[in-house]
């Protein structure tokens, strides 16, 4: 079957899959705290697709006025996405890269050149607010993804990056959890190159210096043995980070990390300055024993640990919820809240689809062997 150059959405049942090679696409929407809802097939042939993760989101066509956005609508170069105080949007590009638009933000798709399946060049203009991007690795070394502001531009070939532009004083802050991030001034002169785990603040007339990056001072790290795919649903029941197929990641959570660990383990680390619950879903890729190591961190240092173990079948899904205890003196502010403990319940079979909104690109479908 020839897969069209489009982003495809299909509901995936909760039954064990006969083969991950038969996976076409996922768009799975959490439908309440204790219920899983499915959404029917939808297809977009646009350069980018807009998903509404929470709240109300506005869309402004190039040169037009903002109006209510529609979930699943197509975006073109010059289009703007505007989020309200409690709203989050997701933009998925044809190469599989995603942009999470956080609350109180206004961004524009300035450039989206998809050239071929081996190259893409995307540029996002941040008019105000904050974004988080997962940028896929493509074969062409000239591929790039940029976050632009009036103060500076941050560019990466692939990785996990973010940017925040403040209109009041023109400050531009950028971060990277994966991938070297080159930050340049409006004239194209390099100001700083950030390595994974670093951030920098740019102001006109000042020389930026790399700093250690923590989205929240508390974090939750999940390490899972190589025969299972971990996916973490955040406490807001909207954003997810993890894996949906071997080699295919999703990362919609600002400051989170998805990657590989020792002995083929898969790692998901998310900001965790709230009690939760965080929902962890595992999907088996091979039958056998499965191990989950949970670690609560504060400023990078372990605070609590728990190991879960069991057996899993290929295509089977298991789930648990993780709750945390926070220092009462700091619990009111997620960014600085101090985790004091945490615990997950036993792994239980999951009936129904995966949580969250997940949209895979044709390139990702091809990478996992979709026929």
The band of 205, judged by pLDDT with boundaries at 50, 70 and 90, is: confident
Domain with CATH 2.60.120.1440 in the chain: 47-212
Residue 19 has a pLDDT of 32
Residues 24-74 pLDDT 10s: 334 433 333 322 233 322 333 468 999 999 999 999 999 899 999 999 999
Residue 117 has a pLDDT of 64
How many angstroms from the chain centroid is the CA of residue 230? Answer: 14
The band of 366, judged by pLDDT with boundaries at 50, 70 and 90, is: low
Residue 358 has a pLDDT of 87
Regarding beta strands 36-38 and 28-30, do their DSSP bridges make them parallel or antiparallel, or are they unpaired? antiparallel
Query: Would the pLDDT of 115 be above 80?
Result: no
Residues in CB range of 147: below 8 A, 6 or more apart = 124, 126, 131, 133, 153, 154, 155, 161, 162, 163, 174
Residue 367 has a pLDDT of 61
Residue 114 has a pLDDT of 81
Scan for tokens 């002169």, then name that residue. 189
Q: Which residues pair with 242 in a beta bridge?
A: 231, 250
Residue 346 has a pLDDT of 95
d(CA 176, CA 308): 30
Query: Would the pLDDT of 365 be above 50?
Result: yes
How many angstroms from the chain centroid is the CA of residue 344? Answer: 23
Lowest mean pLDDT among 91-95, 127-131, 155-159, 275-279: 91-95
Residue 42 has a pLDDT of 32
The band of 369, judged by pLDDT with boundaries at 50, 70 and 90, is: low
Residue 150 has a pLDDT of 94
Residue 363 has a pLDDT of 67
CATH architecture for residues 47-212: Sandwich (2.60)
How long a stretch of residues is the chain?
Answer: 371
Mean pLDDT of 195-205: 92
Q: Which residues pair with 339 in a beta bridge?
A: 326
The more confident residue out of 142 and 40 is 142
pTM recorded for the entire structure? 0.85
The band of 165, judged by pLDDT with boundaries at 50, 70 and 90, is: very high
d(CA 156, CA 21): 30
| SS3 assignment for the chain | CCCCCCEEECCCCCCCCCCHHHCCCCCEEECCCCCEEECCCEEECCCEEEEEEECCEEEECCCCCCEECCCCCEECCCCEEEECCCCEEEEEECCCCEEEECCCCEEEEEEEEEEECCEEEEEEEEEEEEEEEEECCCCCCCCEEEEECCCCEEEECCEEEEEEECCCCCCEEEEEEECCEEEECCCCCEEEEECCCEEEEECCCCCCCCEECCCCCEEEEEEECCCEEEEEECCCCCCEEEEEECCEEEECCCCCEEEECHHHCEEEEEECCCCCCEEEEEEECCCEEEEEEEEEEECCEEEEEEEEEEEECCCCEEEEEEEEEECCCCCCCCCCCCEEEEEECCCEECCCCCCCCCCECHHHHHHCCCC
Residues 207-247 pLDDT 10s: 899 999 989 999 999 999 999 999 999 999 999 999 988 88
């Amino acid at each position: 079957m020839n897969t069209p150059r489009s982003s495809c959405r299909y509901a995936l049942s909760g039954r064990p899959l006969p083969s991950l090679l038969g996976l076409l696409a996922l768009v799975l929407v959490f439908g309440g705290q204790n219920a899983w809802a499915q959404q029917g097939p939808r297809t977009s042939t646009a350069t980018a697709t807009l998903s509404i993760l929470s709240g109300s989101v506005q869309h402004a066509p190039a040169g037009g006025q903002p109006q209510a956005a529609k979930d699943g609508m197509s975006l073109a170069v010059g289009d703007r996405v505007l989020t309200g105080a409690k709203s989050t949007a997701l933009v998925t590009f044809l190469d599989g890269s995603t942009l999470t638009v956080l609350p109180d933000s206004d961004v524009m798709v300035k450039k989206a050149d998809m050239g071929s399946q081996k190259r893409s060049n995307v540029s996002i203009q941040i008019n105000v607010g904050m974004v988080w991007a997962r940028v896929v690795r493509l074969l062409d070394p000239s591929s790039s993804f940029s976050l632009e502001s009036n103060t500076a531009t941050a560019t990466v070939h692939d990785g996990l990056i973010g940017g925040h532009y403040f209109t009041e004083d023109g400050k531009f802050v950028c971060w990277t959890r994966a991938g070297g991030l080159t930050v340049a001034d409006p004239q194209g002169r390099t100001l700083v190159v950030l390595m994974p785990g670093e951030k920098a603040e740019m102001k006109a007339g000042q020389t930026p210096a790399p700093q250690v990056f923590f989205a929240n001072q508390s974090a939750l790290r999940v390490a899972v043995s190589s025969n299972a795919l971990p996916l973490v649903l955040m406490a807001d029941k909207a954003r997810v980070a993890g894996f949906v197929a071997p080699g295919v990641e999703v990362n919609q959570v600002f400051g989170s990390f998805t990657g590989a660990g020792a002995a083929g383990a898969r790692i998901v680390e998310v900001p965790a300055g709230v009690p939760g619950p965080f929902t962890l879903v595992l999907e088996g890729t091979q039958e056998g024993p499965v191990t989950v190591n949970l670690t609560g961190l504060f400023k990078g240092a372990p605070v609590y640990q728990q190991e879960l173990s069991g057996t899993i079948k290929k295509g089977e899904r298991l789930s648990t919820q993780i709750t945390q205890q926070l220092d009462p003196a700091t619990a009111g502010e997620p960014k600085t809240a101090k985790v004091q403990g945490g615990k997950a319940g036993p792994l239980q079979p999951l009936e129904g689809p995966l949580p969250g909104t997940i949209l895979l690109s044709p390139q990702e479908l091809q990478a996992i062997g979709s026929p």
